[in-house]
Amino acid sequence: MFNQCLGFLNKYKLLILKSALPLSLILLIGFAFLLVGYNLQEAAHGIEGRYALEIFLKDEALPEDIDSLRAFMVQQPACDKLETVTREDALRRMSNILGEDLTEVLGYNPLPVSLIFYPIDSYKNRTYLEILKSQVEKFEYVEKGVFAGEWLEELENFNDIFVRITTAFLILVLIAYILLLYMILNHLWLKHQGTAGKLHLLGMSRFNLRLPVYIWALISSVFTSILGLVILAVAASIVSENFIELQYFEPRHVFAIIISFTAISVLLTIFKPMKIPSYE
């Protein structure tokens, strides 16, 4: 039986390669949508993980004003950490971002003193920080409060819409994949049917006759999934180097994708009727 399977796979190796390309292209389209959705989700989670309220003070704020504000912030039940950013600290950060010293360009340091409030995990949400922001902005020496969550909701809403679109599109991709695989299986079984009929007449069981096709489906689906993911990885690398940084799937996601499409392919092959009309 092992030799028969090897002989079958060797005989139809070109069909495996020919079928892998269109199947990989179909999966590549679906994988690309998955990758975009994955990056949007990671971006939203990354911002959410850095929820912090930065409070900018007016130039006329006195040291005792800063101490008063610090005392108010530390007393908050959500306070995890409070960081004071001096004008010099802010200048240093901005210079690192811009690559040049602002004082050399403007002749003075325009950046204000600020306090950065880091909440504990259970308070990392937009509602709480908006309430706290409105409270601290009532202090007359506070210029304004800023946190990333103010525009995070828009990103999350867009991501939700994109996920719905991606889900619908992936269903279409899956249907196209199944239809194409079904056509390839029909072609493969018709080519294998003559030899299978003769072997069945000699007493070989139906399962043993179909086993090479099951093995072909397994090898083809694994090869197809890996090929699609490799092409996507190369494309993602090119985009990251030349346009915008993309985070590729983690290893567990790659394995999950390969296993999922392999399972679909093998199950389709098993449940698809493959009869031998001339002999059964």
Question: Beta strands 53-57 and 142-146: pairing type?
Answer: antiparallel
pLDDT in tens, 9-28: 676 667 667 767 787 888 88
Percent of the chain clearing pLDDT 90 (strictly above): 12
pLDDT in tens, 227-237: 889 999 999 99
pLDDT at 37: 84
pLDDT in tens, 35-46: 888 887 777 666
Round to whole Å and give the CA distance between 138 and 150.
18
- Extract the runs of DSSP E, i.e. beta strands, from 12-71: 53-57
Q: What CATH number should be reported for the domain whose range is 51-147?
A: 3.30.70.3040
Whether the CB-CB separation of 140 and 50 falls below 8 Å is answered with no
Task: Report domain extents, the chain.
Answer: 2-46+158-271, 51-147
Across 14-18, 27-31, 73-77, least confident range: 14-18
- Which positions ≥6 away from 134 have C-beta within 8 Å? none
The dihedral built from the CA positions of residue 126, 129, 134 and 137, taken in this order, carries a sign that is negative
Round to whole Å and give the CA distance between 67 and 170.
55
Distance of CA 187 to the CA centre of its chain: 36
Closest CA to 53 of 154, 143, 140, 124: 124
pLDDT at 277: 46
Q: At residue 199, what are phi and psi to the nearest 5 degrees?
A: -70, -35
pLDDT at 279: 44
| pTM of full prediction above 0.75 | no
